[in-house]
Amino acid sequence: MTTACTSVLTKIQQKKGMFPFVALGCVCLFPIISSPIALILGFTIATLGLVPTQLDTGALTKKLLALSIVGLGFGINVEQAVQASSDNFGLIVGSIFTTLLMGTLLTKLFKVDPKTGHLVASGTAICGGSAIAAVAPAIQANNEQASHALATVFILNSIALFVFPLVGHALAMSQYNFGLWSAIAIHDTSSVVGAASAYGDEALQIATTVKLARAMWIVPIAFVSALFFKGDGKKITVPLFILFYCVAIAIAHYLPQFDGLYQGVFFVSKRLLVLCLFLIGCGLTIKHIRNAGYKPMLLGVLLWITIASSVLAYIELLK
């Protein structure tokens, strides 16, 4: 009898705990909530212990993010996308290999675990958590090494969501330049799109296109990493949302008569992205910050500041 009562009380508590989580998640679907505010809301309820433990927010975020990225493809102009990617090919490739080289040197200098350091550098060079998830099995990194790298990149992504739009407005950056800078200098796709979306629609289109062009380097970098660490190249995974994103762009280009529908999908996808940032905030806790440790975090910060500042200088002064 006591066990049954305890079980019922537990279920009631779980349902009550679901209310603030679901309510805030629904609010994030409305335009009144911006990307940074959604992240803060998620972090707040995570800190207060109001995130339902029975929900796998990480898996849910991954699915919704992939869905929102594909939906954003319907709002991309194909000529502009091709032009932006081809014009900045050298910048994309140069930033990737510079980051990896600098990451290798700093890993040795700070005596960071080699695999952890490489995962941090890979996440900074390509696309944050997705790159880490692809490279980790290829170099046979363990869960602790991967989690430290993910926590480091995750925290810096959250900071970027606030800092980048502020810097962009302070420097009066154009929509194109801000979108390009965000795509190169911010780690995860979610934060790239979140920061660019807060800056403007043109910045969002440029950022999404260039970012996904950068993300396509996951496969070759993972193969090279496997060879370097004598890992297993067969364990490399490719995010399918990149392929579907390209298909969405092609559909919008070759069937322009449905433009009204595409714009609706584009709008809904932007709101889904804000919901994703809320869910990401729900996974950001003080424990994650502590577990990251100061060495991987120091490595990640130095890599990020160096790449972000040098790319910003190049875009604003030389491009």
Would you give per-residue pLDDT tens digits along the chain (319 residues)? 444 434 433 444 445 557 788 888 899 888 888 777 887 888 888 888 888 877 777 778 778 877 887 887 888 777 776 777 788 888 988 999 999 999 999 999 998 999 999 999 998 998 887 788 778 877 888 767 877 787 788 888 888 988 999 999 999 999 999 999 999 999 888 789 889 988 998 999 889 888 878 877 877 887 888 888 876 555 555 567 767 878 888 898 899 899 899 989 988 988 887 888 788 778 767 776 676 668 888 999 999 999 999 999 999 887 6
Distance of CA 219 to the CA centre of its chain: 17
Can you tell me the distance from the alpha carbon of 211 to that of 5, in angstroms, rounded to the nearest whole number? Answer: 52
Can you tell me the distance from the alpha carbon of 88 to that of 183, in angstroms, rounded to the nearest whole number? Answer: 11
Report yes or no: 160 and 100 within 8 Å, Cβ to Cβ.
Answer: no
Structural domain boundaries of the chain?
2-318
Integer CA distances (angstroms), 49 to 18, 53, 168, 284, 286, in order: 11, 9, 34, 11, 11
DSSP 256: G
Name the pTM for this structure.
0.72
Q: How confident is the model at residue 312, as a pLDDT?
A: 95
Q: How confident is the model at residue 137, as a pLDDT?
A: 76
Can you tell me the distance from the alpha carbon of 177 to that of 161, in angstroms, rounded to the nearest whole number? Answer: 16
